[in-house]
Amino acid sequence: MSLQERIFNDLKSAMKEKDEVRVRTLRMVVTAIQYYLVDHESLSDEEMTHLLAKELKTREESLEEYLKANRDDLVSIEKADIEVIRSYLPKPMTKEEILALIERTLQEVSAHSVQDLGKVMAKVSPLVRGKADGKLVNALVREALSQRS
């Protein structure tokens, strides 16, 4: 069963169980899927994971804004949405796993300075997509390259 099918099935079961939080969140995800399918023929599991990661990032940014504005009512809603979306994403990579991957990649591409950032990121990005935040990976690659120069 594809990730997309699993989400549709989970939406149906959440509706039957009258689980308002899951229904609300999964409806937003289904809307994002349908919006994506307007421009594309189909949606692979990899693209689905990317779409979910994008939805998660949107919710996390909203959560930060609600925390700044002291909107506790909206904070609890966003936290619940984040929890539901995370249940469909692969387990995030730890910082140590990312660093190990970066180190292997640095050796593969013989990177020695920050000027090689593009080459390293081109190799690392596809491997961490959906499993790690791109900004964190970029910062870790920059740090590793600056230590080598």
Query: CB–CB of 140/117 below 8 Å?
Result: no
Domain end: 34, 69, 86, which one? Answer: 86
49 and 121 part of one domain: no
Average pLDDT of every residue of the chain: 91
Domain harbouring 58, CATH code: 1.10.1510.10
Q: Which of 90, 145, 72, 71 is nearest to 113 (CA)?
A: 145
Mention every residue, 6+ apart, whose C-beta is less than 8 A from residue 133. none
Write out pLDDT tens, residues 105-147.
988 888 888 888 888 899 998 888 778 888 889 999 999 888 8
Give 96's pLDDT tier (boundaries 50, 70, 90). very high
At 71, list the tokens: 């909107």
Report the half-sphere exposure of 49 (CA within 13 A, side-chain side): 15
Q: Measured between alpha carbons, how far is residue 26 from residues 21, 58, 112, 122 in Å? A: 9, 15, 45, 32
The answer on pLDDT for 30 being more than 70 is yes
The answer on pLDDT for 149 being more than 70 is no
Burial class of residue 35, CB neighbours in 10 A (0-12, 13-18, 19+) = exposed
27 and 77 part of one domain: yes
Write out pLDDT tens, residues 48-72.
988 998 999 999 999 999 999 999 9
Domain end: 86, 120, 138, which one? Answer: 86
118 and 138 part of one domain: yes
- Predicted pLDDT of residue 113: 82
* CA dist., res. 97 & res. 110, Å (int): 20
